[in-house]
Homo-oligomer: A and B are copies of this chain.
Amino acid sequence: MLKQLKPVDWLLVFVPVALALRYVPALRNETALFVCSGLAIIPLAGLMGRATEHLSERMGQGIGGLLNATFGNAAELIIALMALQKGLIGVVKASLTGSIIGNILLVLGASVLAGGVKFRHQHFNRTAVQSSTTSLMLAAIGLLIPSIFHSTAAAHPGGWTPAMEQKLSLAIAVVLFVTYIFTLMFSLLTHKQLFLGGGHADAHPPSSEPAWSPKKAVAVLLIATAAVALLSEFLVGTVEAARIKLGVTETFIGIIVVAIVGNAAEHSTAVWMAMKNKMDLALNIAVGSSLQIALFVAPVLVFVSFLMGRPMDLEFTIPEVVAVIVAVFIVAEISNDGETNWLEGVQLLSVYLILAILFYFLPGTH
């Protein structure tokens, strides 16, 4: 068992540390709890990913990639639900933004760069990727429209009310969710061959460790999910204190914590696939993960918020909307020729850096 541990797994030591900080009164320190909870979620999200990988090994790269992305995003969904329950709408929205741009800029950029250093050109099926980037554009439009609505309607006396914004957002969330169902039908049913890595997908499991039994995989998945849920509650409960202590904004925390912590699992898997020249799978993980956040997690949060009686709308701040649009366009531009090289990885990372600089300097905007 021990030899199966990856370097990141040593971060599991932060699970008991976080528990101690939370439940031993003498050790109570909110900033420390925030940091330790975040660090502890990283290997747990990774374990969720590995368990999923073992479960999905015989289901082909398409479904495997999708399942991977699903449970990579389960961590984000759990964190967001905890924040929603506490009424931290600004953190929820920032974490959605951070997840979307983190996956297609940071995760994909690192993958393309790492793969590009080893291989001169890496090829992938551009029809498969294009269907995802187009859906991402759709999502970006879905996030842009509520802001346009607000700024235009507000110019009319009585033209804008929170209730109207919520109805508009609910209607858009339904459209995005239905489009997601169709996207899944496309990638898992009618055109699944496009997502299999161009026919040269080998039968070897992408994992280098011996296969886990389904029983073990399910057990790990359940335990890791429960632990992530608990730690997310700690994380969200201390975000306000940590934010003030660290002197950064809610938005910056949401975007950085989620892009780094929540996506660490996808991150390592995507980079690893790129270095094995499986760019179809790397792109599938990174772009698919953003897609799932935008077309599945965001609408689900809107639906849940309505059921909880404190409706969340889809109106993001202008910098968030701009960040998503900019990230989607760069990815569409880079992927439209069906090949990548190391410079494109640098370009994606540069855009991520420029956006991180913006959010670092921005005063709190929620």
Contacts and interface: CB of A to CB of B under 8 A. Distances in A.
Nearest to A170: B357
A242 to B, nearest CB: 21
A241 interface: no
B134 A344 contact: yes
Given A322-B148, A336-B336, A141 B351 contact: yes
Interface residues of A, number: 68
Copies of this subunit: 3
A138 B330 contact: yes
Given A168-B357, A172-B357, A131 B341 contact: yes
Interface of A is mostly: helix
A344 B144 CA distance: 20
A237 to B, nearest CB: 26
Contacts of A156: 363-365
Contact of A137 (B144, B178, B330): B330
Nearest to A182: B346
A144 B322 contact: yes
Contact of A145 (B141, B144, B354, B364): B354
Contacts of A329: 137
A321 B172 CA distance: 19
A354 B130 contact: no
A361 interface: yes
Interface in A121-155: 121, 126-127, 130-131, 133-135, 137-138, 141-142, 144-145, 148-149, 151-153
A13 interface: no
A343 interface: yes
